[in-house]
Structure 1
Amino acid sequence: MIIETERLYFRELLETDIRGVFSLDSDPEVHQYLGGNPIESAQQALNAIKFIRQQYIDYGVGRLAIIEKETNSFVGWGGFKLITDLTNGHKNYHDLGYRFLKTAWGKGYATESSKATVEYGFNKLKLPVIYAMADRGNLQSRKVLKKCGFIEKGLFDYDLVPHYWYELFNQSGV
């Protein structure tokens, strides 16, 4: 376990998570605010897992599997990704993100996991700042980020779609 909350724990994504990742990323509703481009094969899910696992090696961080403690089931992924491309004037920054299966929606997992990720980022990784973004139409994600203390810093176009940019600074002086 890398991060733990009352109801969830985070661990590295494994190739054995292929079914969960496929269920998550092949769902058009899950991809509503992610460019509307769900995956279509188990091979694409495996490629995504391999890509994330390479990020662990290259950058020391990457999205993590989120497991529901009660059922020991994969319910999504979350955590940090080091973004090396220029995005809204920023480069080489830690982006907070999450994605959940529809069966996990409405349970407060996005807020619970994001708060734990922020705490991990500031206390364990000693990050000075964490960034996030959300599609302008994704009201639920925008609410989650605000509940976690992120400050909305304006709109920008990401892949030709308006997104809000968020930032949260480490207040402990690290």
Structure 2
Amino acid sequence: MNLILETDRLLFRPLEIIDADAMFAMDSNPEVHKYLWQKPIQNIEETIKNIESVQSQYVKNNIGRYATVLKETAEFIGWTGIKFVNDHIENGHTNFYDYGYRLNEKFWNNGYATEATRFWLEYGFKQLNINIINAYTHADNAASNSILRKCGMSFIEDYQDDDGSKWKWWQVEFNHFKT
């Protein structure tokens, strides 16, 4: 999969093993995992397995999370994108398209997550012909919840995972999406 996509400031490309060091730096940071089950990655081998898992999603589903890179500096800032969830049940759902992102802490508060979210929602609807895109965020993650709302996703309901953590379920339909 050699698809490279872009916005004004960002490039999106398939994740590669060369991203492992930067991705490990991001995923080993406890602040990045504050609203992600609080389980930072402990070694780079876990990161490599995660990249390989995403690469298999590209093959199986023709979509997945993409490396997100600053155009200006070519720095890996995290990953963003749409994946097809068919490997587990989330809030009673499986076989759905999920939008998600994770950025390295040093790139927070620059509007990158909003820019990427707007791009991926539009791409999902207009290029991939997806009719409904979901997302889920930790209930206490005010920043991510605000970004999803600002980008046109509708809050559907709160739910609890198996550990008792409270999450928010989001959704946007193609016929309600405004660019």
TM-score bracket for the superposition, by shorter chain length: over 0.9
What's the secondary structure of 1:95's corresponding residue?
A: strand
Structure 2 gaps of 5+ residues are: none
Structure 1 match to 2:29: 27
Contact 1:3 1:120 in 2 (8 A): no
Q: Paired residue for 2:46, among 44, 47, 67?
A: 44
CA spacing shift, 1:36–1:89, aligned 2, 3 Å: same
How is 1:131-170 mapped onto 2 (pairs within 5 angstroms)?
Answer: 131-159=134-162, 160-170=164-174
Contact 1:10 1:66 in 2 (8 A): yes
Structure 2 match to 1:171: 175
Amino acid aligned to 1:136: A
In the alignment, the residues of structure 1 paired with residue 121 and residue 19 of structure 2 have an alpha-carbon distance, to the nearest angstrom, of 24
Give how far 1:81 is off: 1.6
Structure 1 gaps of 5+ residues are: none
Amino acid aligned to 1:18: A
Amino acid aligned to 2:119: A
- Larger mean CA deviation between 95-104 and 82-91 belongs to 82-91
Give how far 1:2 is off: 3.3
Q: Paired residue for 1:3, among 2, 5, 15?
A: 5
How is 1:89-108 mapped onto 2 (pairs within 5 angstroms)?
Answer: 89-108=92-111
Structure 2 match to 1:113: 116
Contact 1:28 1:37 in 2 (8 A): yes
Give how far 1:172 is off: 7.7
Amino acid aligned to 2:18: T
In the alignment, the residues of structure 2 paired with residue 102 and residue 89 of structure 1 have an alpha-carbon distance, to the nearest angstrom, of 31
CA spacing shift, 1:104–1:135, aligned 2, 3 Å: same
What's the secondary structure of 1:6's corresponding residue?
A: coil
In the alignment, the residues of structure 1 paired with residue 70 and residue 55 of structure 2 have an alpha-carbon distance, to the nearest angstrom, of 21
In the alignment, the residues of structure 2 paired with residue 77 and residue 33 of structure 1 have an alpha-carbon distance, to the nearest angstrom, of 16
Structure 1's consecutive aligned runs of 4 or more residues displaced over 4 angstroms after TM superposition are: none
What's the secondary structure of 2:133's corresponding residue?
A: strand
In the alignment, the residues of structure 2 paired with residue 124 and residue 10 of structure 1 have an alpha-carbon distance, to the nearest angstrom, of 15
In the alignment, the residues of structure 1 paired with residue 75 and residue 140 of structure 2 have an alpha-carbon distance, to the nearest angstrom, of 29
TM-score, normalising length: structure 2? 0.93
Pairwise CA RMSD:
1.3
TM-score, normalising length: structure 1? 0.96
Residue by residue over 1:66-111, the C-alpha shift from the partner in whole angstroms, topping out at 9 and shown as x without a partner, is 0000101100001012111222222100100000011100101111
Give how far 1:171 is off: 1.3
Residue by residue over 1:151-173, the C-alpha shift from the partner in whole angstroms, topping out at 9 and shown as x without a partner, is 00110112421101000000189
The answer on 1:126 being equivalent to 2:135 is no
Give the paired residue count: 173
